[in-house]
């Protein structure tokens, strides 16, 4: 798919949002001076990433990285711009946590079963960061309801390192060699950097002191960039993926305690679909490297639940 086709929905949405009429805003979501609100919270995040190696249409390798219940700090703010426009930004910081990784290879092209497998329960999440900035415009509003369309940009950065573990290899026959790596020995470090652009549809409904809000996102990455360091083999793989589709959703429930303060619970989901790309392999011992077209692949998803406080200023 040509890259420009990913961004046609962004252009169309911008035109649509600008052209649609909207009633004058009321200020029940605004701060006391009609401009700024902010939130801070904590939550738990589940992360999954797939790493793939190909030889043409044949999948040579797949590494499944995962972390569950990662403690995550969440910060965000909303700015009312006037003329029915709203600007929103948020940051999620995942604290270091545990993870899991499974690495499978299919080096025998004549069979469907994997030939090599290593399992790494001692996998650490080195870091996780997710940030978005979004602008939307009201297309319908009453005293208790708001509907809006918009768009924005996002960025995710995640890295794991796998240590120790066990392996099953196929040396002379299938799955005939079994062993373990030394505890604490670093095997692989994997990092994904994911910039995205998206269009959005948002809705909010107030019922007394409660406010229910939700949004849907759809768009594309500018291409996942990833780095894979194989420490025991002294190799670094640097991959650049083609643009991939992404979707996202969020929902929150607020309870207003004071005119300028509320508490909330929220859920977020993001999925970046699989895409292939080019890879560069470099030796970390010698000045040697090679490049391969369409030899890499990647995907990613994250979902979280959180609670916190919101305030107006």
- 268 is a catalytic site residue: no
Q: Enumerate the domain spans of the chain.
A: 4-312
* 275-296 average pLDDT score: 97
- 240 is a catalytic site residue: no
Q: Give the phi and the psi of residue 106 in degrees, each rounded to 5.
A: -125, 75
pLDDT of residue 96: 84
**Exposure letters 229-268 (e unless 16+ CB within 10 A, then b):** bbbeeebbbbbebbbbbbebebebebebeeeeebebebeb
Q: Are 63 and 103 in contact (CB under 8 A)?
A: yes
Catalytic residue among 122, 228, 239, 299: 228
Catalytic residue among 92, 103, 226, 239: 103
Cα-trace Rg, the chain? 23
pLDDT of residue 43: 98
Model pTM score: 0.87
Which fold, 4-312? Lipocalin (2.40.128)
* 12-39 average pLDDT score: 48
- 33 is a catalytic site residue: no
259/13: higher pLDDT? 259
- 100 is a catalytic site residue: no
Catalytic residue among 98, 100, 126, 230: 230
Q: Are 147 and 140 in contact (CB under 8 A)?
A: yes
Q: Which residues contact 271 (CB under 8 A, 6 or more apart)?
A: 246, 247, 248, 300, 301
Q: Give the phi and the psi of residue 26 in degrees, each rounded to 5.
A: -90, 180
Catalytic residue among 92, 105, 226, 239: 105
pLDDT of residue 35: 84
* 269-284 average pLDDT score: 98
The pair of three-digit structure tokens given for residue 127, joined into one six-digit string: 């870091």
């Amino acid at each position: 798919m040509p890259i420009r086709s990913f961004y046609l929905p962004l252009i169309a949405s911008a035109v649509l949002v600008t052209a649609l009429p909207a009633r004058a805003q009321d200020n029940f979501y605004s701060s006391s001076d009609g401009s700024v609100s902010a939130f801070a919270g904590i939550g738990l995040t589940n992360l999954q990433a797939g790493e793939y190696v190909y030889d043409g249409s044949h999948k040579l390798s797949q590494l499944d990285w995962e972390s569950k219940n990662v403690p995550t700090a969440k910060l965000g703010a909303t700015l009312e711009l006037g003329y029915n426009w709203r600007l929103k930004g948020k940051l999620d910081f995942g604290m270091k946590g545990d993870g899991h990784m499974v690495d499978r290879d299919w080096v025998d092209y004549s069979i469907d079963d994997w030939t090599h497998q290593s399992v790494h329960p001692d996998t650490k999440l080195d870091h996780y960061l997710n940030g978005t900035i979004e602008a939307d415009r009201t297309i319908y509003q009453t005293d208790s309801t708001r509907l809006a369309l918009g768009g924005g940009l996002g960025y995710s950065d995640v890295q794991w390192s796998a240590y120790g573990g066990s392996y099953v290899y196929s040396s002379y026959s299938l799955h005939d060699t079994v062993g373990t790596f030394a505890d604490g020995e670093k095997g692989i470090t994997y990092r994904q950097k994911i910039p995205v652009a998206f269009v959005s549809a948002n809705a909010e409904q107030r019922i007394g002191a409660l406010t229910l809000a939700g949004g849907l996102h759809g768009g594309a990455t500018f291409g996942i960039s990833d780095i894979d360091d194989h420490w025991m083999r002294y190799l670094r793989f640097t991959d650049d993926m083609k643009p991939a589709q992404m979707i996202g959703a969020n929902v929150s429930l607020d309870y207003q305690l004071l005119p300028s303060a509320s508490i909330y619970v929220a859920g977020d989901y993001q999925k970046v679909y699989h895409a292939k790309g080019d890879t560069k392999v470099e030796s970390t011992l010698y000045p040697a490297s090679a490049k391969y077209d369409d030899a890499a692949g990647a995907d990613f998803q994250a979902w979280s639940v959180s609670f916190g406080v919101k305030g107006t200023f």
